[in-house]
Structure 1
Amino acid sequence: MDCSRKDEAIRMEIDIEQELAGKNPARVAPQVRKQIRIQQLRVRSHLIMALVAAGIVSLHLLLDWIPLWMAVCALIVFPISLLCLYGDGRLLKYQQQKLTLIEEILKSRGKQ
């Protein structure tokens, strides 16, 4: 299983190197930082949405405070928000890895 993770990490590095081909890393870095901030907000909002949906369903089941139609809508929203949370989390990790590689490239150019 460790070999497959290493292969996946190597593939991601190769993709990032191909993505940076012909671009100035000093100009790409601020854009990647901005994308990371946006992805962090998206992940946070999906997490809050999933928690609110779970809260609505549990309030309906336990205390009957919430109407049935709201609980049904929350049941529909919950798996969608979990899926979005997973996807945006993976994209956030990719963007963070990309930023670390860009910063390493900038440091190596600064030393030369």
Structure 2
Amino acid sequence: MRLNEINYANAEPVDGYGPGFFRIGGHVHQGAVLTGPTGTQAWGGYADEAPLRDLSEVIDVLFIGTGAEMAHIPPELRQTLESAGIGVEIMNSPAACRTYNVLLSEGRRIALALIPV
């Protein structure tokens, strides 16, 4: 079997997560976080739309991890993001982290907004 090293050229992968934190690119971030091609930063949750909208020029899809369980996001947030030309995929945070890492390794134009588990 041949193993290939994965290259994350566009952004940092999610290395791990736990109660109240995410480890992204080797750094621990407490609370909700936004990561993608523009870097990693704290995120204020669903009401903090501005940093998500600002991604419209550099991503095609935003994955939103809703915590331990999948939950609906506010309809206004979905409408705002889709109006800005950003596709939105909702899933629980663990699944969002895994999906983000796979697509990031493929060089896709994506970002990830996470609510902690």
Q: What TM-score results when the alignment is normalised by the length of structure 2?
A: 0.23
The structure that has the greater radius of gyration is 1
Task: Name the one with the larger helix percent.
Answer: 1
Which TM-score applies when normalising by structure 1? 0.23
